[in-house]
Structure 1
């Protein structure tokens, strides 16, 4: 027993403190990058690039050196049984719906930049929230892992939205990111595969960046998506019938 205790990592011994440290460090990194970008009058994408590129490199090195890729859900897509792919169908519906807003005219170089930018964001955020934070909190129970990781994901996006002045858009962003967080966390709990989540996150953000900027004109579409996500969360939550879901998830890892 003493040998096992000695070999336990900090995250295993102190899961809550681990999550707090990860979230604080992420917020500090983004805030510092935002301050620097403001002083230097850089573009609105600069804070994310300045903070997320080093974070992505650290994550890749850590996952490789510690052999954490599989533990955090980076698995072949064929590990998801054919019967469980149906749970991802509403994600496709969300992507199609937000595409109805249309797209603005941008250059090829801008498209390539946004592909890199959104893929970077998707990898970092999913690795942190549905990877590190979610998996760390599973020791406290599945409900704790899903709820806490989703709330922290929403808080991070809320801070980004606070730069605006429209309270309606801020509240919409809060609810939207919270529901997205719940959906992706529940899918992680169900299938223990982070790749479809990164793909959705990437395509979702890419559509938003190259889409029309006038969000107020498409408020009806946004509200419809919120309704879809709320029903989606309920459907996923009700799909968990076995009380030993966390045990099954850990056994498959």
Structure 2
């Protein structure tokens, strides 16, 4: 009888260390690009472009060479059960609420740039947090994977405190990111499809970047979105616990 030895990857043997390494590498890349952009007085988008374009290329190459696309949730939308689509409906409400803030006047060239920029951010952040990190931590249980990936997603947004925001705005953004991360992680567990999450992330950021600049005037809208996200977390969590 032949003994077949199954190769166990580092992420399977050390899921926690794998996640720590991924998060630290991402934070280091963002801090280095932010420092470079500040020293060279580049615009607001430069740090993200400098960090995320190489990361996106590495992710595409890694997913392709290791045949990870399907395993990480890159599946056709038709793979989502019709009865599960209802769980995405609060995300549509969030996009609508953000649209109610209005939009500033921008040209075609800036629109095209924002489409590229927000698609890049959506792909990279979802691939890392709801793809690599969440999937790796599922070995420790769904609750651990969802909570940890959401916290790390929020921690990454603390770097925005360095961009001149007030403490209150930064705190709101961290809570916003924490709840958003939890909702997207729960949806990933529910449907195992990352494509709708990337599309939502892209549209959400696109609307925000193209929207009115005076965010402090729309604090009520943000608080409403937090309530929607909290309700969605409870709803999906209950559906998962009920099987």
TM-score by length of 1: 0.93
Unaligned runs of 5+ in 1: 244-253
For 1:2-25, what per-residue CA distance to the aligned partner results, in whole angstroms no more than 9, with x for missing partners? 822xx1111011000000000000
Structure 2 residue 115 is the aligned partner of structure 1 residue 110: no
Partner of 1:95: 95
Structure 2 residue 159 is the aligned partner of structure 1 residue 159: yes
Alpha carbons 1:161, 1:173 under 8 Å: kept:
no
CA change 1:167–1:147 in 2 (3 A) is: same
User: How many residue pairs align between the two structures?
Assistant: 241
Structure 2 residue 183 is the aligned partner of structure 1 residue 190: no
Partner of 2:32: 32
Partner of 1:132: 132
CA distance in 1, matches of 2:242, 2:216: 42
For 1:75, what is the secondary structure of its paired residue?
Answer: coil
Alpha carbons 2:161, 2:167 under 8 Å: kept:
no
Partner of 2:226: 226
- Range with greater deviation from structure 2 (105-114 or 227-236): 227-236
CA distance in 2, matches of 1:155, 1:94: 22
For 1:116-166, what per-residue CA distance to the aligned partner results, in whole angstroms no more than 9, with x for missing partners? 000000000000000000000000100110000000000001222343341
CA distance in 2, matches of 1:175, 1:26: 20
Q: Cα distance, 1:225 vs. partner?
A: 0.8
CA distance in 2, matches of 1:222, 1:116: 25
Unaligned runs of 5+ in 2: none
Partner of 1:143: 143
CA distance in 2, matches of 1:12, 1:219: 43
Structure 2 residue 176 is the aligned partner of structure 1 residue 176: yes
Partner of 1:3: 5
Root-mean-square deviation over aligned CA pairs: 1.2
Q: Cα distance, 1:111 vs. partner?
A: 0.3
Q: Cα distance, 1:84 vs. partner?
A: 0.4
For 1:18-65, what per-residue CA distance to the aligned partner results, in whole angstroms no more than 9, with x for missing partners? 000000000000100011111111111000000100000000011111
CA distance in 1, matches of 2:203, 2:131: 19
Alpha carbons 1:56, 1:120 under 8 Å: kept:
yes
CA distance in 1, matches of 2:67, 2:146: 24
Partner of 1:241: 241
Partner of 1:75: 75
CA distance in 1, matches of 2:104, 2:61: 37
Alpha carbons 1:162, 1:170 under 8 Å: kept:
no
Partner of 1:41: 41
CA distance in 1, matches of 2:220, 2:121: 27
TM-score by length of 2: 0.97
Partner of 1:249: none
